Amino acid sequence: MAILPANRHTCALLAATALTAIAMQPALAADAVIAPVEPQVSEPLAVALSPWQVRVRALGVITENKGHVNEVPGSGLKYSNTVVPELDISYYFTNNIAAELILGTTYANVDGKGAIDGLDVGKVWLLPPTLTLQYHFTDFGAFKPYVGAGVNYSIFYNQKSHDADYLKVKNTFGGALQVGFDYMIDDHWGFNFDVKKLYLRPDFDVTVGGAQMSGKAKLDPWLIGTGITYRF
């Protein structure tokens, strides 16, 4: 059987189709190229802070000039104010709840007033370790205010009588209130301002001119401090 020659128009159509397919191959190849994937930069991991924190402060101790000698009506007492260094150690149970132990030592010169004005009673040193439970507010960025309340136990030592023949101030417990803030300059370092009120009212024995007497010293000091914070 003889093969009939293809129609002239059919041949032209086939040739055009072939040329179009060849021309489209580069474009299809270009479309098939996969765009490079940008590398993903992972977020830096947050530094896990230790629960321990320390502060070093300069502390002003401002006492209230109250107290009396039981056997002398109209008697009063007054005390010197001081500026001393202070160390405190904090432990964070959570981001908001912490306990703070305040350590420092100071002294007070004790003078009479009222009916015993002009009497230089003596000088005592005291170590008033104070433990407070604090609530820290964490919604203000670098500014971190806190409030606290706790208990104080004051130890009186190195007691010296001057115009008195004998002076013995007794160790005692008392309450403590606290308010302050840290301003953190990074995850570890910051500045601190702190105010505490101690309720400190020890009993004492004193001998003046051979007469044995007793009384109560109502120091109730304000402790106003500023210093540096370090969070481990």
From first to last of its 232 residues, what are the pLDDT tens digits of the chain? 444 444 555 545 555 555 455 555 555 445 555 556 666 655 555 568 899 999 999 999 999 999 999 999 999 999 999 999 999 999 999 999 999 999 999 999 999 999 999 999 999 999 999 999 999 999 999 999 999 999 999 999 999 999 999 999 999 999 999 999 999 999 999 999 999 999 999 999 999 999 999 999 999 999 999 999 999 9
CA-to-CA distance for 116 and 77, rounded, in angstroms?
8
Q: Which CATH number fits domain 52-231: 1.10.1510.10, 3.90.1150.10, 2.40.160.20, 2.40.30.10?
A: 2.40.160.20
CA dist 92 and 155 (Å) reads 27
Q: Is the pTM of this model over 0.85?
A: no
Domain boundaries, the chain: 52-231
* H or E element in which residue 50 lies: none
- How far is 95 from 87, CA to CA, in rounded Å? 21
d(CA 128, CA 174): 10
